[in-house]
Structure 1
Amino acid sequence: MDNTLIYVTGNSVKFDVARKTFANTEINVMQMKMDTPEIQSKSVQEVAMYSARWASKEINKPVIVTDCGFYIEALNGFPGPFIKYANEWFSADDFVNLVKDKNDRTIIIQDCLAYCHPELDPMVFTGTYRGRLANVASYNPGTSIEKVFIPEGFDVPISDIPEEAMISYWSNGEIMSKFKKYILENIRGL
């Protein structure tokens, strides 16, 4: 029985999170960098499910795909699932300026993992992370949102937090915990 999960992502931190989550289990997580079609939807679940279904059929193996949205409360949830594009359009300082006169600086990350076997419909695992938007953008490397998003329990933006601390933070999140429990209970279904 092959207990290999293919994680379709080009993001090494996401892959390290999955590897850490399944360390010391009988699941082997492999990374595959593959461009998947990304549908336009207000739902991160729909985006992840579509990509997972497409990838699993393309390589004829079970895959996981993740997607997330960053919802800035003071901006009615903008940019939501369109964070990839907002990171291209806005600088970190633009994000800070968008909320400079707002009292509520809450950001909610809606995280989604879609698991798909090529012969089955995708399954979705979701979770949330809370945090706030920084008053001043970081100058360290990272995406625009990584330079301004301060996760709950931290005092600095993601781009200022050591990678190992962020891998630990993400790997203890809801979706990886839920997915790990599911997979380990259903390992014969891989």
Structure 2
Amino acid sequence: MPLIFVTSNQHKFEEARTLAEEYEIEIEQRDVPYIEIQTDNLADIVKPGAQQAYRMSGAPCFVEDAGLFINALNGFPGPYSSYVFKTLGNQGILRLLEGVDDRRAEFRSALGYCGNSIKVFEGKVKGTIAKEERGSKGFGYDPIFIPDMGGEGTFAEMSMEMKNALSHRANSIEKFVKWYSKNKKAEGG
């Protein structure tokens, strides 16, 4: 039986599927409309989200939330990254940083799992915000985020394999699939 990844984001699902396959874990995407609480901590968002998705789907599942935390903006947009991206986009973030020298930022990811246990797995990657959008791969803030490890390219200039070797989401998903592959039987998988 496949493990359920509750997300409406096809890009997130493809990243997770690629990583899960490496551990011979089959995942299935479902768009279960759970309520995402608003708070400043990603782990506090995904834990109740995973519990709610589990109750609604009736099967072990996981959810993931991520945020871009920009130092010069005191961590903004952080857990509100999706809303900010929809309203301001990458160009809006670049305008907020015009004339700012400190362009350091961090992408963070939290993955919440609910089955026979409830777990949260977190990942992050440090980097900087580019001065302009670059690249056509990926999604969201990928065209403006340059990870510290991986050269001078943005996530949007990298292959999925390269991005998965570096990204915040890949980090949290990899922690999860390693744990799940060891605990699959205990979790009903």
Shift of 1:182: 1.1
Counterpart of 1:148?
144
- Aligned partner (choices 14, 27, 30) of residue 28 of structure 2: 30
The aligned length equals 186
Tell me which amino acid in the other structure corresponds to 1:106. R
Q: Answer yes or no: is the 8 Å Cα contact 2:107–2:168 preserved in 1.
A: no
Alignment of 1:117-136 (within 5 A): 117=115, 120=117, 122-136=118-132
Distance 1:174 1:138, change over 3 A: closer
Long gaps (5+) in structure 1: none
Counterpart of 2:90?
92
- Aligned partner (choices 86, 92, 102) of residue 100 of structure 2: 102
Shift of 1:49: 1.1
Q: Deviations over 1:101-147 (max 9, x none)?
A: 22211110111111001x54x21001111111011124848756233
Shift of 1:160: 3.4
- Aligned partner (choices 73, 76, 88) of residue 74 of structure 2: 76
Q: Answer yes or no: is the 8 Å Cα contact 1:21–1:171 preserved in 2.
A: no
Q: How far apart are the structure 1 equivalents of 2:137 and 2:172?
A: 26
When structure 1 is superposed on structure 2, of 41-50 and 12-21 the one drifting more is: 12-21
Distance 1:32 1:143, change over 3 A: same
Distance 1:20 1:97, change over 3 A: same
Shift of 1:163: 4.1
- Aligned partner (choices 39, 46, 52) of residue 41 of structure 1: 39
TM-score (norm 2): 0.86
CA RMSD for the aligned pairs? 2.4
Q: How far apart are the structure 2 equivalents of 1:69 and 1:171?
A: 9
Counterpart of 1:54?
52
Counterpart of 1:9?
7
Distance 1:91 1:47, change over 3 A: same
Q: Answer yes or no: is the 8 Å Cα contact 1:87–1:143 preserved in 2.
A: no
Long gaps (5+) in structure 2: none
Tell me which amino acid in the other structure corresponds to 1:129. V
Q: Tell me the SS of whatever aligns to 2:146.
A: strand
TM-score (norm 1): 0.85
Q: How far apart are the structure 2 equivalents of 1:35 and 1:79?
A: 23
Distance 1:26 1:163, change over 3 A: closer
Identity of aligned residues (%): 28
Q: Answer yes or no: is the 8 Å Cα contact 1:146–1:157 preserved in 2.
A: yes
Shift of 1:12: 2.2
